[in-house]
Amino acid sequence: MPPQANCALPAGFQLDQYRIDRQLSLGGFSIVYLAHDELGTPVAIKEYLPNSLALRKDGEIEPQVSDEHLPAFRYGMKCFFEEGRSLAKLMHPNVVRVLNFFRANGTVYMVMQFERGRTLHDIIQKHRGTLKESFIRTVFVRMLNGLREVHAHKLLHLDIKPSNIYLRADGTPVLLDFGASRQTLMTDQPILKPMYTPGFASPEQYDRRDQLGPWSDVYSVGAALHACITGNAPPRADERVKQDTLRPVSKTHTDRYSAQLLGLVDWCLQLDPLARPQSVYALQKALVQKATATSEATPHTRWFTDLGSRLRAFIGRG
């Protein structure tokens, strides 16, 4: 049975101190709107509205939730609210800024700073398979500064993909949409269906949730890097566990990218969580190294040498 479709709030609707302009995106877990506050400042507002638990028909304001789904809906709403509270504490130029969060209309809303630019997904589609290595390294090193801040607050993103990496007009990346991070708040609660994006989600997000950690986001970063290089996401991790058909980019794209970068991508996409970089910092150290490693260098040796001033220049502290 296909999931039901929820109707968005109408244009011009007054939501607390914000006026809804239009819908920006619709997903299985939420709806995102463009709105303006009382001063006319544009904001993005994310509304908790999971398709599997609630239904809002055209012309209605409050979602309808059956008695059967009410406990799960309320638990998810609590997690969404707590997520907003946690993300509001993050003050980092490479993480979307949460300005406000509140309850209304029987659900919860998260107000975020509206960013102008385009997603990395859009750029990949336009330049499929032809992105320059210098561009890829610069975008991901800066984005990983933001992800390090997320992990420092004991949150996981769990939905990193090119469509959630936003490039401002000046080229600086912003990490968006922490919808999946709510799953880390109470992992012993089975009543919410896990949210993940096939191709970008780590294998442990499917059925080994007790193994989730920073290395899970590292897998997703590797999948996003893979998309930059090949133009496509890797095969689904759950299918790879059964029969791994993924061809290492270190064997398929040596004509365009350095062996060091390609080896790094393959390292991140290991199915065994312990075989990947165990922290974002370790991944950054590899990314900032210029492509000078020889083909004999291993990801665990050469990638971690001679970084010095480059690390200080590229990796933000704290």
pLDDT digits (tens, 9 = 90+) for 193-250: 556 789 999 999 988 878 899 999 999 999 999 999 999 999 999 999 999 999 999 9
- Residue 237 sits in the same domain as residue 138: yes
Last residue of a domain, one of 49, 82, 113: 113
d(CA 202, CA 242): 14
Residue 63 shares a structural domain with residue 127: no
**Residues in Cβ contact with 156 at an 8 Å cutoff, skipping those fewer than 6 apart:** 150, 180, 181, 183, 184, 212, 213, 214, 216, 217
**Quick one: 153 and 104 in the same domain?**
no
- Domain final residue, candidates 96, 113, 130: 113
Over its C-alpha atoms, the chain yields an Rg (Å, rounded) of: 20
Same domain, 277 and 293: yes
* Domain residue limits at 60: 14-113
What span, in angstroms and rounded, lies between the C-alpha atoms of 262 and 317? 26
Q: Are residues 151 and 101 in the same domain?
A: no
Question: 170-191 pLDDT, tens per residue?
Answer: 999 999 877 554 444 344 444 4
**Of 113, 148, 179, which closes a domain?**
113
Residue type, 48: Y
Mean pLDDT taken over the chain: 86
- Are residue 94 and residue 222 in the same domain, yes or no? no
Judge whether 1 lies within some domain.
Answer: no
In this structure, the answer to whether residues 36 and 144 fall within a common structural domain is no
175 with 298, same domain?
Answer: yes
Task: Give the pLDDT band of residue 293 (cuts 50, 70, 90).
Answer: very low
Do 205 and 64 share a structural domain? no
Q: pTM of the prediction?
A: 0.82
Residue 86 is predicted with a pLDDT of 82
In the chain, the number of structural domains is: 2
Q: Is the domain of 170 the same as that of 269?
A: yes
Mean pLDDT across the stretch 138-167? 93
Are both 186 and 284 inside the same structural domain?
A: yes
